[in-house]
């Protein structure tokens, strides 16, 4: 498959679908995307409570799913290129959380009307769209588990391991690490801790020779130690293989 054939959607479900999409289906997905838009960092792409009639595919960059509560911002999920960010809104209509860009992003939109038609004519692809929302739920469960039983150190290690693996699925990781524009505040919001404590945790990861996080990039220094620290087992991502970067 050449990348240029599907400039907008070529990362969709890449490496994650048990059943690969056919060329025909890839064409259908590419055809779903009508408008494309770019946003700078910290742009609120969608607001909690919005009633939407289209869904958003993340093409480039990172976005967070955010719930504001008690004057604080809580990141409940992160998305990498190729993810349908609010496909669930096709069935739920109303958003229970906001979508915020982290770093510059490019997104594409498809209308629910188009999805409606797809549901009638493309049963296998429809199932794959469902599959992709179920993957989100599986990741949510792993986050819950991680929040319930890991200390801040472990949570950060787990987060890094997960994003590394997911970026690898879509061809955006390298053996030494990956681009990652989150600030320490945003890492804290993702791990349920404070920015101050996250700063110490980040330092500890560096001092222990596990990973370095700086200037928009994560450099993994010791992959095994990272996996160990986060108790990371990628099977919940339902990827092709269950071994990282192998």
Partner DNA sequence: CGATACGTTGATCCATTTCAAGATTGGTGG
Partner DNA sequence: CCACCAATCTTGAAATGGATCAACGTATCG
Alpha-carbon gap, residue 40 to 44, rounded angstroms: 10
The region, left, alpha or beta by phi > 0 then psi within -120 to 50, assigned to residue 38 is beta
Asked whether 32 and 114 are in contact (CB, 8 A), the reply is yes
Asked whether 201 and 216 are in contact (CB, 8 A), the reply is no
Alpha-carbon gap, residue 46 to 65, rounded angstroms: 9
Binder of residue 39, out of its own copies, DNA, none (CB less than 5 to 8 A by kind)? none
- Interior/surface letters 155-192, b for 16+ CB within 10 angstroms, e for the rest: bbbbbbbbbbbbbbbbebbeeebbebbbebebbbbbbe
* Segment interacting with its own copies, rule: CB under 8 A, options 26-34, 105-113, 184-192, 212-220: 184-192
94 scored as a contact of its own copies (CB under 8 A): yes
142 scored as a contact of its own copies (CB under 8 A): yes
Within 145-204, the residues that bind DNA by CB under 7 A are: 151-153, 183-185, 192-197, 199-203
We find the least distance from the C-beta atom of residue 242 to DNA, in angstroms, to be 28
- Which residues would be at the binding site for its own copies (CB under 8 A)? 18, 49, 65, 67, 69-70, 72, 74-77, 88, 91-94, 96-97, 119-120, 123, 126-127, 130-131, 133-138, 140-145, 147-149, 189, 191-192, 231, 235-236, 238
- Which residues would be at the binding site for DNA (CB under 7 A)? 151-153, 183-185, 192-197, 199-203, 214-215
């Amino acid at each position: 498959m050449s990348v240029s054939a599907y400039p907008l959607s070529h990362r969709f479900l890449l490496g994650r679908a048990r059943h690969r999409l056919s060329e025909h289906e890839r064409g259908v997905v590419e055809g779903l995307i009508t408008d494309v838009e770019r946003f700078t960092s910290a742009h609120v792409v969608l607001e909690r409570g919005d009633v939407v009639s289209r869904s958003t595919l993340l093409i480039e960059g990172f976005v967070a799913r955010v719930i504001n509560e008690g004057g604080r911002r809580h990141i409940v999920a992160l998305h990498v290129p190729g993810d349908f960010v609010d496909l669930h809104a096709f069935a739920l209509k109303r958003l229970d959380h906001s979508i915020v860009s982290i770093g510059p992003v490019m997104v594409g939109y498809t209308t629910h009307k188009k999805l409606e038609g797809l549901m009638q004519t493309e049963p296998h692809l429809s199932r794959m769209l469902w599959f992709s929302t179920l993957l989100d739920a599986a990741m949510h469960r792993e986050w819950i588990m991680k929040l319930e039983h890991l200390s801040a150190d472990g949570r950060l290690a787990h987060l890094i391991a997960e994003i590394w693996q997911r970026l690898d699925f879509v061809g955006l990781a390298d053996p030494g690490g990956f681009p990652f524009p989150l600030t320490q505040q945003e890492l804290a919001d993702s791990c349920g801790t404070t920015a101050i404590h996250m700063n110490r945790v980040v330092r500890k990861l560096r001092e222990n020779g596990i990973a370095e996080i700086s200037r928009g990039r994560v450099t993994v220094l010791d992959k095994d130690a990272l996996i160990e620290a986060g108790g990371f087992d990628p099977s919940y991502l339902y990827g092709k293989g269950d071994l990282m970067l192998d």
